[in-house]
């Protein structure tokens, strides 16, 4: 959120007719300027942007926050003449000095696509002057980058000084993607990598504009996060379980649904049930949309307890990882442990590993037996409730 006034210098020399950037260097440059303007205004609405040409140096637009004005002048630019970098930067600096927002930091963004014939000494002198006046310069070198590289590098290095990092040199090799190369560069990203958000293509996650409907976007993002976390936990438990018991099931196919809120929720629930589905005799998915949240939670709990129950009934060698599952993310960690604790098999194996405990002893067997009986009762209760 830097408060900044930026002068954009475009190269409108004859070299811009070249077609190595599609469709022409001039057009590619225009797209790139568009990108820069929007990123500056987006990062802080009070930022100002101005425009000038580097060949036949002329200020096309004084510093303004109206991007439309910049773009309309930009489209009138025609290639003619040769670039004059020194004069261009000096005039850009002058325009910045006369900015209205005296609190704004000063920045020049120069697009250079033709060979620069200025003396290096002159450029370094100019760089020192700009450094004294705290002006940052970003240079986008494209087209003739090989020829200009040394010159521009020494310019930027002088400007940055020993530790500074306010000025950047971005070199773009020939190809169709001048704007794309810029998006990830420090010109757009700023110094902390912030500015790139929201740009590029349609740019928005989930097809929802965060500006139009921030709550929806947030809800979608949160549910995706939860789902991902749940997946990670499952993966973790699967690892633990498979280490203890060996083997793993293949997850049931996840239901694919069109990306809307309900469907996402449904999908998330399906994920947690996916392994349980194999066990179920009747894999009927109740209508989640009509259940309230609590009912959903209760239902999910039943499902996972049911799984645990089934597991204890079958042989230990059977490959079941469901018992270790978390019913629903919202329930938190306590549920996990209660499930795990209630699983008599798991308890048995743990007890076996404990030193000084004889699993065959009466006390243990009784405790474990009680546990399974409790679960059988609960299961019957639940089955009734379901109806």
Partner 1 sequence: MSGHKHTCQGDHDHDDTPEMGLQYSLYNKIDTGNLECLNERVEGSGKDVFKAWEERLNFEKYVESDVDEELLFNIPFTGNVKLKGLIIIGGEMDLHPSKMKLYKNRPHMTFDDTSIAPDQEFDLHPDNNGTLEYATKVVKFSSVTHLTLHFPKNFGGETTKIYYIGLRGEFTEGHRHGVTICTYEARPNVSDHKTDLMENISHEIQ
* Interface residues toward partner 1, by CB under 8 A: 97, 102-103, 128-129, 131-134, 161, 164
Pairing relationship of beta strands 58-64 and 135-142 according to DSSP bridges: unpaired
> Nearest approach, Cβ of 90 to partner 1 (angstroms)?
11
User: Judged by CB, which is closer to partner 1: 6, or 296?
Assistant: 6
Tell me, letter by letter, the H, E, C secondary structure of 150-183. Answer: HHHHHHHHHHHCCCCCCCEEEEECCCCCHHHHHH
Q: Give the whole-angstrom CA distance, residue 184 versus residue 197.
A: 10
Q: Min. distance of Cβ 125 from partner 1 in angstroms? A: 10
Q: Are 109 and 187 contacting, i.e. CB atoms less than 8 angstroms apart?
A: yes
Closest to partner 1 by CB, 133 or 352: 133
Torsion of CA 210, 215, 220, 224, to 10 degrees: 100
- C-beta of 132 vs 387, nearer to partner 1: 132
Nearer to partner 1, 103 or 282 (CB): 103
Q: Name the residue nearer to partner 1 (CB basis): 162 or 315.
A: 162
Q: How far apart are the first and last CA of the chain?
A: 58
Nearest to partner 1 of 7, 16 (CB atom): 7
Shortest distance in whole angstroms from residue 128 CB to partner 1: 4
Closest CB 131 distance from partner 1, rounded Å: 6
Distance of closest approach, residue 9 Cβ to partner 1, in angstroms: 20
CB of 164 to partner 1, least distance (A): 8
CA–CA distances in Å: residue 111 to residues 29, 43, 55, 196, 370: 8, 21, 12, 19, 78
Q: How far is the CB of 74 from partner 1 (least distance, A)?
A: 29
Whole-angstrom Cα distance, residue 252 to residue 311?
18
**Distance in Å, CB of 157 to partner 1, minimum:** 13
Task: Say if residues 56 and 81 touch (Cβ distance below 8 Å).
Answer: yes
Q: Which is nearer to partner 1, 94 or 240 (CB)?
A: 94
121 versus 132: smaller Cβ distance to partner 1: 132
239 and 324 Cβ atoms separated by less than 8 Å: no
C-alpha distances (whole Å) from 246 to each of 305, 308, 321 are 21, 17, 10
- The nearest distance, CB 154 to partner 1, in angstroms, is 15
Contact 6, 50 (CB under 8 A): yes
Q: Which long-range contacts (CB under 8 A, 24 or more apart) does 78-82 make?
A: 78/12, 79/12, 79/13, 79/14, 79/15, 79/16, 79/17, 79/26, 79/55, 80/12, 80/13, 80/14, 80/55, 80/56, 81/12, 81/13, 81/14, 81/55, 81/56, 82/13, 82/14, 82/55, 82/114, 82/117
CB closer to partner 1, 192 vs 215:
192
Shortest Å, Cβ 134 to partner 1: 6
């Amino acid at each position: 959120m830097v408060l900044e006034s930026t002068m954009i210098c475009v190269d409108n020399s004859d070299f811009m007719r070249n077609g190595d950037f599609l469709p022409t260097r001039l057009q590619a440059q225009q797209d790139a300027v568009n990108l820069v303007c929007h990123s500056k205004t987006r990062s802080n609405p009070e930022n100002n942007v101005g425009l000038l040409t580097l060949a036949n140096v002329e200020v096309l637009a004084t510093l303004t926050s109206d991007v439309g004005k910049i773009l309309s002048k930009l489209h009138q630019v025609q290639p003619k003449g040769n670039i004059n970098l020194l004069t261009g930067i000096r005039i850009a600096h002058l325009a910045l000095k006369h900015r209205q927002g005296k609190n704004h930091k000063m920045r020049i963004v120069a697009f250079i696509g033709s060979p620069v014939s200025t003396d290096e000494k002159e450029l370094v002198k100019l760089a020192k002057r700009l450094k004294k006046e705290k002006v940052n310069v970003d240079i986008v070198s494209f087209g003739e980058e090989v020829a200009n590289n040394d010159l521009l590098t020494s310019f930027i290095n002088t400007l940055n000084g020993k530790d500074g990092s306010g000025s950047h040199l971005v070199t773009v090799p020939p190809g169709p993607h001048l704007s794309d190369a810029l998006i990830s560069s420090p010109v757009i990203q700023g110094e902390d990598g912030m500015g790139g958000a929201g740009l590029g293509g349609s740019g928005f996650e989930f097809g929802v504009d965060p500006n139009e409907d921030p709550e929806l976007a947030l809800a979608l993002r949160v549910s995706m996060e939860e789902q991902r976390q749940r997946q990670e936990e499952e993966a973790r438990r699967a690892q633990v379980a498979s280490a203890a018991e060996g083997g793993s099931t293949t997850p049931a196919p996840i239901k694919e649904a069109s990306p809307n809120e309900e469907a996402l929720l449904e999908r998330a629930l399906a994920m947690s049930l996916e392994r349980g589905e194999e066990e179920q005799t009747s894999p009927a998915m109740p209508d989640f949309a009509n259940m309230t949240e609590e009912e959903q939670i209760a239902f999910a709990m039943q499902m996972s307890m049911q799984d645990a129950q089934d597991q204890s009934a079958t042989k230990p060698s059977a490959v079941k990882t469901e018992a270790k599952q978390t019913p629903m993310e919202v329930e938190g960690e306590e549920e996990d442990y209660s499930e795990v604790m209630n699983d008599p098999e798991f308890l048995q194996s743990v007890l076996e590993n404990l030193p000084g405990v004889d699993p065959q002893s009466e006390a243990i067997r009784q405790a474990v037996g009680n546990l399974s009986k409790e679960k059988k009762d609960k299961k019957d209760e639940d089955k009734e409730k379901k109806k």
